[in-house]
Structures are given as structure tokens and as C-alpha cells.
Structure 1
């Protein structure tokens, strides 16, 4: 969807709406919109928010890292500019999960799957978390797989294996040094196979805390997504 960052949402550009929700966070000391588009800088600054120009980067994380070189931050929240329906309370929970877990290098959000169809959908990224809340694995596949020869005394506990997984919400909080380390790591075969950069972090030993989210936000990738977000936005009043 070309130009989606400047698409209108309730009388303001989409990217401005995202900056507004970030500004409502209790844990955010500073909100900066990082972009390589001067039109976005103008729109954001005209709305009273801060924006900084960056070079051209392959990922949002790389763009955030460039801005981080000019600022000191203990925790950095990498928030995409196309998810205006995220809840500030979920983002606060994400940041706090990292602040309260000294062993975690980064954190992300997830919430329960709606059912087996979503579990099997390769467009839905699933995450399995351990007892300490750290991510064990992310996949587009239906995880965990269930062994056909599972003993009868265990079958009741995995009758609905989709309940063991969570739906990943692609928002990340990093410790400043962890973001720089992550971006300097070589890409891995599993990361490329799944198309999931967080697997690079896991394969290289970074620990990812998984914080609960109230729901899965609707991102804007297509004209249909934009119309759906506009409809949901109007219902909010």
C-alpha cells in the first residue's frame, strides 16, 4: 500500500495516530518517529511530535538503531507506523516485562489463538513460551506438533494443542546494547526459511520475554486493511 503512512485515519495521517498512541504510554520518556521520507517528518512535526530523518534501511530495527546512535536509552520500543490500534497499556506491559526481567535481552507481545484454524494458518506467527516466560520458538507452522504415538495418559492434556501456542504480535522492546548486538548478528538459515528475524535472536542465544497482549491489532498492509482499520477506528468514537 504505497504512501500508507500518510493515509488518512480520522482526520490525521496514520503515522501520526501511531505517534499519538505511543505518547499515551506511561513508560515512554520520549517518542521519535524515524523515517527516510521528508513528507512524513513534516506531517509528524506539524502535529507536534518529534521526527528524525534516517538513511535507507532494510528493516525497522535497523532504522531504530540509527536513531539510537544519537540518543541514550535503556529500553527501546520498536513500534511500526502502521498499527494504530495497539493499546498503550499493552506497550507499557511490554516495556515493564523487560525492566523486571534482568535475564531477558528483548521482549515481545503475544495473546491466545482463537482456535485451530488460526493455529494452522501460515500467515499467523505462533510462539511457544517456557515457564519463565521466555520464548522457546516462533514458527508459521502449527506448533507444537503432536506425536501420533502419544501415550493415552497424556492425550487429554494435548487434545487441543493449539492452546499451548500463542499468536505473536510483532512489536519488540530491546535493551539498547541488545538491539545493536542483534543487528550485528549474521542471518541464519532458519530465519530465512521462516521469514522471521526473531529466530536469529534465539539461534544466537538472545533471550526473548513474551508479554501478554489484550488482543491482536490490525496492521495496514493493503487497501482492504486500511478500510477495516478505518471502520474499527470510527467505532471507537
Structure 2
């Protein structure tokens, strides 16, 4: 029997000052990799430090969740940023998180774009190349977590970076294998039973069903759950239990 292995990641540290969005402590007991907000769409120094400390103590891999500079819009607004400026901002965010990761006895192990940037670099070669350049400058050994076959996937490989394919348990897919835009009805999967079903299908078979009904192949090494979703912790626990029951081993990729 083939050994089925998947990484379970979540976006964490997504608060700012007194504003708290993600239950970082609880989710760090479920996931194997933590995409930590680096201050541009969410996160502040204290939050980054606390998440890194807890992740390191629990053996959870730390990833830099990089974003457009958009605190007010939570990094989900489309922005036009020159490529050289974006590359600098990616390097800056990785460096900020690396200091806290090292202080916790760990290191930044990978990079994942967030929100509008994630969607943009899936299709925009220039912006994807800027993210790859900024990542390579921070550390050429860092892999990028992204949609398989995307512009980001290609740009990272061209820059000599590692690539880890990612799938989403709680997002709907188009027939082309891309994510349904958030403004579209049904883009977010709220039913925990549906989230669990999709998670197991993606991890075990590499297949899910598009919002329009077609089968979609998504081969991924990491599976994402959004930490800011309603009942995120309960859903994450349900997904992890269902994966283990299906014979899938949870293990960080980095």
C-alpha cells in the first residue's frame, strides 16, 4: 500500500494589537505547518514572536506568509506594486519573521503568498517572478508554497527555488483547477462535512469536484485550512481526524 503523507497548514498570527482573529494556540496543536503573517496584511512583532515560540515548542514548521502592504484590507485587495518594490517587500517580510523564528530556536522553512498576492501570482508572471526574486534574496533554500502549475510554480522553479504544491480543503475550485474568487457565491466551503470530504479526497486521491460539477485533479503535498474561518479549530480537528482515519499520515513538508 502506498504511504499517503500530507502536510496540514493554516494561516496564523492574523491579528494586530488588540485585534485577534486566529486561535493560534489551538490551531498549533492541530497543524504541521504555520503560515505566519509578517506584518503587511496582519501580525505585529508581539504576535510573530508568540506564534514562533509556540510553533517551535510543538515542532510545527514556520512559514512566512507574505502579502501586499494592505493592513486595512487584510491583504485581500488587488494592488498594483512595481516588481522591484514587491521583491524588496517580500525580502523584508521574510527577514522580519526569521529573527523571531531564530530566537525561538527554529527558522523560517518556506514562503507562502497571502490573499490577493496569492491569487495574482497564480496567473501573473511578472509578479510571480518578483516574489521568487524576493524569496531567493532572503534565502535561496526556501521553497514556495503555491498552486500546482501556476505562474508562481513556474517562477519559483526558474529562480532555482523549491516548490511545494498546495490544495485547499475549504475553498471551491474552478474546472481549470484554480480557486473560485472569494466574491463568488460558494467560493468558501462553510459546511464542515464538505470541508472534510474535500480534504480526504485531495489528500488520498488528488481529486475534488469543481463548483460547476467537473472533476478536478489537484496533486499537492500540503493542504490548507483557513485559520480565520468560523469554527476554524473544530473544523481543523475534524479534518485531521478524518485524514488519519483514511490512512493519511500528517507530516510537515519542510
Task: Give TM-score scaled by structure 1 length.
Answer: 0.33
* Higher CA-based Rg: 1
